[in-house]
Structure 1
Amino acid sequence: MLYAAGSGGGAGGLTPILMIALLFGVMYFMMIRPQQKRRREAEQMQSAIGAGDEVVTIGGLYGTVTGVDDETVLLEVAPGVQTKYARPAIARVVNKAERPEAVETVPEDAEPVKE
């Protein structure tokens, strides 16, 4: 009799584990994955900053990029006033500067390639 009563609860012990796994799965897709995507997009935006771009810092300061280093960005916030910021301090790019694309030039004295 004791044996028959204990065998019925085996499937019920698996349900809480599945619920916890489902909860972690939902949390991953609702919170962690979108946050990783936003961080990746921010890193791409910050690495693409160049001279002439108009940007906004995380503190709300608008400025024009005048110089870019590996870790810092030099902003002109007023005529003749330049300030230095860390790249992660740039929140967004307001206006992207027009940059000519790199054009491959061929020297004039070069002979054409024959196939």
Structure 2
Amino acid sequence: MVALLPFILIFVIIYFLMIRPQSKKQKETQKMISSLHKGDKVITIGGLYGTIVGIRENDGVLIIKIADNTKVEISKTAVAKKL
């Protein structure tokens, strides 16, 4: 029993330092993605800045305007940040 104590302690430390913060960040990202609306300014994971001009809910696609007369279709999961 005493031999298992260090392994249990290491697992608890790993959980609180790595697993728990990652799942918390994932929940926050999912909440941000679900709150996206037309007109929101976003940054993609590829570094593109743009404004959402359309949303296709059925396949999870956002249409963002990155310049005059330039629109790009991206996956909702490609949004890194909402400005």
Letter paired with 1:91: A
- Distance in 1, matches of 2:77 and 2:62, equals 9
- Distance in 2, matches of 1:74 and 1:29, equals 38
Match of 1:83 in 2: 72
Structure-2-length-normalised TM-score: 0.93
Q: 1:39 aligns with which of 26, 44, 60?
A: 26
Matched, 1:93 2:82: yes
Match of 1:20 in 2: 7
- Distance in 1, matches of 2:30 and 2:75, equals 12
Aligned residue pairs total 81
- Distance in 2, matches of 1:68 and 1:52, equals 10
Q: Kindly state the Cα deviation for residue 62 of structure 1 after the two structures are TM-superposed.
A: 0.2
- Distance in 1, matches of 2:22 and 2:37, equals 25
Higher relative contact order (CA 8 A, sep 6+): 2
Letter paired with 1:18: L
What is the CA RMSD across the aligned residues, in angstroms? 0.7
Structure-1-length-normalised TM-score: 0.68
For structure 2, list consecutive stretches of 5 or more residues without a partner in the other structure: none
For the pair shown, the structure with the greater C-alpha radius of gyration is 1
